[in-house]
Structure 1
């Protein structure tokens, strides 16, 4: 269910530049009733809210299937809310678990396009805490890693900087892993959001007990290094085992998500500017730019 609406690459063969700036977003509605609706539309912040866009009825061999769908070109790097209108009734998308409660108390369905940097799953303090912990998982905060990133980002051409680095996450600007994890917990790994919520809360309380004079996000690298080692051992003094009995499992989960984000396609929110690939290519030479689309890559056929 996390796959809907479907966020895919957009191709405009007459305008290659716009191709890189849009996603094709496909909304799908399925009617469970044998008495099929006469009209299904979608209304959302990606268009004028007073206007509903009709979905097309999907048939097979001329027979109705109960499915309705529409594909729209929507800019990358955005978050939108929407609802379906079914024969005049306004409803949430029944097959999309992403939802947002607006300031007026109304609940809307929600989706995000590639390169979005808006926090969706985590709170600000959780994202900051996560950024500090992932520092001890990934190689980019070492002196050597930081020198590489500084050199790599400074050597990018103007177009790459304009089109890719503006998507760098404001908490984890070096590589965007926190942004990747935040988006992952909104969709594919939504079932693990509870692990993050519980464990980050435990870590926050634990660090405040160890140093009541500083906010956890401002504490020393040594404190996080000690915490990391304790998490890996599974023996964490002060850990609330009644709420979560396996801190090592949480660290293993976080390591998997962090490494995936650092070296996945930048469209998923991590590996900002392809820095993770460039870091690997310096050690294990391969031409990653030939494999991906413009503007970051050079492949004329692949569209992301």
Structure 2
């Protein structure tokens, strides 16, 4: 599989490196995972690497959408060891060399390469440093295969498959979010269905599977899974512990029905107990002392994903924004939330934004 290599320029790479890696300290020796862990701990947002961005060049209208994925490896200025990357986004027998990133003609110590990768894909990769295969010391995402081998992982915009959460966790999460977002009233559900089916045929073909794969609203469950896989991986433990607690509490509350099939009243009752600090039967407070905090975390994630930019897996087809546009209008029925100027065609009206 041929991989298109692009050159966004040293400035593009340095803008990310100086912002996120400047305080990371000296790079670890290749293959030293303990040193890599300490190195990564000094990076505030290590999940931003590899950089998943946009291809700025004009592409044919019928070209499939892609992300510009930039792999960055940190060495020291003047380090002559060859660095390359290989992964499932290309052919595993053809490493792609990284080149020095320069500033005013001087070696910065960073090595980088940018490639086009189709959107909605997940890939595994490793670096080849001086003939030795190593994990990415910056990116914390890992995938352990059935053969026991571990690879670094990344995914592009709009990836639909669950990465972190298990099916039973996704089902309970979907039901919990019912009580947080405004999309479950009859009027709201009718609006969302009208909005999706109002798209043209090509738009429906692209957007409908994203919206309805994991839920019937705007893809927030899928987006939360992606948040926990990358941006907010430090909160995965909260979900792992609390979803088990919630499953157990619901079973004590109603032992005759599977939790994800329980009526809304059971979830509302549990939700109110969590919000008001009432003791919850079946909740292990030794494992997680503050159910209210998890509810706060869940609310933040639900609202963020439902109304964030559509590229982040939630707010599919900008349906969340369209709901706000419809919901908030002045006396003349002119919307108070004109989001379309912030999106490119066909969903938006901006000729510049992408």
Same fold by TM-score greater than 0.5: yes
Question: What residue in structure 1 maps to residue 219 of structure 2?
Answer: 176
* Equivalent of 1:67 in 83, 86, 110: 110
Within the alignment, does 1:99 sit opposite 2:145 as a pair?
no
SS at match of 1:66: strand
- Segment drifting more, 160-169 vs 75-84: 160-169
Q: Are the equivalent residues in 1 in contact too, given 2:78–2:109 (CA < 8 A)?
A: no
Question: What residue in structure 2 maps to residue 26 of structure 1?
Answer: 70
* Equivalent of 2:284 in 220, 227, 240: 240
The separation in 1 between residues aligned to 2:295 and 2:279, in whole angstroms, is 12
Question: What residue in structure 2 maps to residue 276 of structure 1?
Answer: 320
Following TM superposition, by how much is the alpha carbon of 1:37 offset from its aligned partner in structure 2, in angstroms? 4.3
* Equivalent of 1:7 in 42, 52, 66: 52
The separation in 2 between residues aligned to 1:150 and 1:260, in whole angstroms, is 21
- For CA contacts below 8 A with separation 6 or more, give which structure has more relative contact order: 1
Q: Are the equivalent residues in 2 in contact too, given 1:57–1:68 (CA < 8 A)?
A: yes
Give the TM-score of the pair, scaled to structure 1.
0.94
The separation in 2 between residues aligned to 1:287 and 1:237, in whole angstroms, is 43
Question: What residue in structure 2 maps to residue 254 of structure 1?
Answer: 298
- Segment drifting more, 284-293 vs 116-125: 284-293
After TM superposition, list the pairs within 5 Å mapping 1:1-304 onto structure 2: 1-18=46-63, 21-31=65-75, 36-168=79-211, 170-238=213-281, 239-284=283-328, 285=335, 286-303=337-354
The separation in 2 between residues aligned to 1:282 and 1:63, in whole angstroms, is 53
Q: Cα deviations across residues 178-235 of structure 1 (Å, max 9, x unaligned)?
A: 1111111122212111111111111111112223332211111111111111111121
The separation in 2 between residues aligned to 1:210 and 1:201, in whole angstroms, is 14
Q: Are the equivalent residues in 1 in contact too, given 2:78–2:107 (CA < 8 A)?
A: no
Following TM superposition, by how much is the alpha carbon of 1:17 offset from its aligned partner in structure 2, in angstroms? 4.7
Following TM superposition, by how much is the alpha carbon of 1:39 offset from its aligned partner in structure 2, in angstroms? 1.1
Aligned length, in residue pairs? 301
- Segment drifting more, 87-96 vs 99-108: 99-108
The separation in 2 between residues aligned to 1:56 and 1:297, in whole angstroms, is 37
Question: What residue in structure 1 maps to residue 6 of structure 2?
Answer: none
- Segment drifting more, 55-64 vs 133-142: 55-64
The separation in 2 between residues aligned to 1:36 and 1:216, in whole angstroms, is 57
The separation in 1 between residues aligned to 2:61 and 2:353, in whole angstroms, is 12
Long gaps (5+) in structure 2:
1-45, 329-334
The separation in 2 between residues aligned to 1:74 and 1:295, in whole angstroms, is 22
Q: Are the equivalent residues in 1 in contact too, given 2:85–2:126 (CA < 8 A)?
A: yes
Give the TM-score of the pair, scaled to structure 2.
0.81
- Segment drifting more, 138-147 vs 160-169: 160-169
The separation in 1 between residues aligned to 2:323 and 2:104, in whole angstroms, is 52
The separation in 2 between residues aligned to 1:22 and 1:219, in whole angstroms, is 41
Q: Cα deviations across residues 225-255 of structure 1 (Å, max 9, x unaligned)?
A: 1111111112142221111111111111111
SS at match of 2:111: strand
Long gaps (5+) in structure 1:
none
SS at match of 2:229: coil
